[in-house]
Amino acid sequence: MIDTHCHIDFRDFDHDREEIIVSASEFGVDRLINIGTDLHSSRRAFALANEYENIFCTVGVHPHDAKTLSDRFMVEMETMSANPKVVGIGEIGLDYFRDLSPRDIQRDAFVKQLDLAVKLDQPVVIHVREAMDDALEIISDYAGRLKGVFHCFPGTVAEANKVISHGFHVSVNGIMTYKNSKMADIGREIDLQSILIETDCPYLTPVPHRGKRNVPAYVKLVCAKLAELRQLDFDEVEKITTRNAEKLFRLVETFG
């Protein structure tokens, strides 16, 4: 299995990071993609990816921090992306729920990083909250030129299908295990060939560990829930979602 979205560089793991990385492998999660959210986390993600064989990373600026995106960091992102352990640009996107950066600046940062991804031929990891209409309008201009994933997909089945029609994937996580979760509809109804699994750890811990720190090993619980929703064998869902991630992030080529 692959945890396609984790944040093990965060301080939540400062006291036991090595143990958490090892335990993921013991639970069958053999590869992790650690996601950058700003300049400093992207640097930490890059360092971790180059320290551990089974860790890959993305680099980018989250919409919360869009106001911090500088030309200098854009150049640094491009430089880091030349390293084969960097498999995407992200976490980028729009967040109108918290509005920690002005919306016009969020949109500008989003487009700049999408353009960089096109230039570098890298997939993108997209965060969207309360901004789906604007996000869909923006990515429609990149259909056929760019691939990526809308992580922790927050929208409806109809919106997910629109995302997929533009050539993007959606990812599901621990939210899918919560009672009356709308994400369960995504897991149940969307084409399995377009779904990735993730933890977003240390956040969004799946049942039965909800309320505690999330860890990459728990992506196995996400896979199990997805298999349950679709009435498929766990092994089949694991195989398909792993292959989806390998294709999107070119992990097979990275290993080959």
**Whole-number Å distance between alpha carbons of 111 and 7:** 23
Average pLDDT over residues 201-214: 98
| Mean pLDDT of all residues belonging to the chain | 96
Q: What is the pLDDT of residue 253?
A: 57
Q: What is the pLDDT of residue 130?
A: 97
Average pLDDT over residues 186-203: 98
pTM over 0.85: yes
Q: What percent of the chain has pLDDT over 70?
A: 98
Q: What percent of the chain has pLDDT over 90?
A: 98
Is the model's pLDDT at 122 over the cut of 70?
yes
pLDDT one-digit tens code per residue, 55-113: 999 999 999 999 999 999 999 999 999 999 999 999 999 999 999 999 999 999 999 99
**Whole-number Å distance between alpha carbons of 113 and 97:** 21
**Whole-number Å distance between alpha carbons of 190 and 188:** 6
Average pLDDT over residues 122-147: 97
Average pLDDT over residues 182-191: 97
Q: What is the pLDDT of residue 254?
A: 46
User: H or E element: which one contains 172?
Assistant: strand 168-172
Q: What is the pLDDT of residue 252?
A: 82
Inter-residue long-range contacts of 111-114, CB under 8 Å, 24+ positions, other chains counted: 111/138, 112/69, 112/74, 113/60, 113/61, 113/69, 113/74, 113/77, 113/89, 114/89, 114/138, 114/139, 114/142, 114/146
Q: What is the pLDDT of residue 255?
A: 42
Is the model's pLDDT at 241 over the cut of 70?
yes
**Whole-number Å distance between alpha carbons of 6 and 57:** 9
